[in-house]
């Protein structure tokens, strides 16, 4: 018998990610309330920008919201961009400052 069982085909589709990546590409990213709250803080900061940590604090997001992932998704979508500088975070380590793409000179969303 050369036919694979149904579960084997499904497992392969999940491992290679084609179905998952196609579905993800069809949906609009960064539309959750957390994304919107974070993006609003970056917009309000203007060209001064914010670190992800600062944006989360200003948006009053709890750590359980995984705000660092939401900020990464905003960067990946091009909604926020690195400003080319860093600032110390709460732990004293250098953190990348980002600005809303609209606040960047010549930037548009």
Residue at 68 is within a domain: yes
Rounded to whole angstroms, the Cα distance separating 1 from 17 reads 27
**Which two three-digit tokens encode residue 72?**
């990464």
Dihedral sign computed on CA atoms, order 27, 30, 33, 36 = negative
- Burial (CB < 10 A; 0-12, 13-18, 19+), residue 76, is exposed
Residue at 11 is within a domain: no
Instruction: List 99's β-bridge partners, or say none.
Output: 81
Residue at 7 is within a domain: no
pLDDT at 13: 43
Residues 6+ positions from 88 with CB-CB distance below 8 Å = 94, 95
Domain that holds residue 47: 30-100
Residue at 73 is within a domain: yes
Residue at 17 is within a domain: no
pTM over 0.75: no
Residue at 108 is within a domain: no
Distances (CA, A) of 48 to 33, 84, 91: 23, 11, 21
Residue at 38 is within a domain: yes
CATH assignment at residue 73: 1.10.10.10
Counted domains in the chain: 1
pLDDT at 102: 81
pLDDT at 10: 46
Residue at 94 is within a domain: yes
pLDDT at 62: 94
The tens-digit pLDDT sequence of the chain (109 residues) is 555 555 444 444 444 444 444 444 444 467 899 999 999 999 999 999 999 999 999 999 998 999 999 999 999 999 999 999 999 999 999 999 999 998 655 544 4
């Amino acid at each position: 018998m050369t036919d694979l069982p149904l579960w084997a085909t499904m497992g392969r589709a999940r491992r290679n990610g084609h179905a998952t990546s196609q579905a993800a590409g069809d949906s609009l990213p960064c539309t959750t309330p957390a994304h919107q709250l974070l993006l609003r803080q970056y917009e309000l900061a203007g060209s001064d920008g914010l670190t992800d940590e600062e944006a989360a604090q200003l948006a009053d997001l709890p750590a359980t919201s995984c705000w660092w992932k939401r900020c990464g998704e905003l960067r990946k979508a091009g909604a926020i961009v690195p400003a080319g500088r860093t600032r110390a975070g709460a732990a004293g380590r250098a953190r990348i400052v980002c600005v809303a793409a609209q606040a960047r000179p010549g930037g548009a969303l």
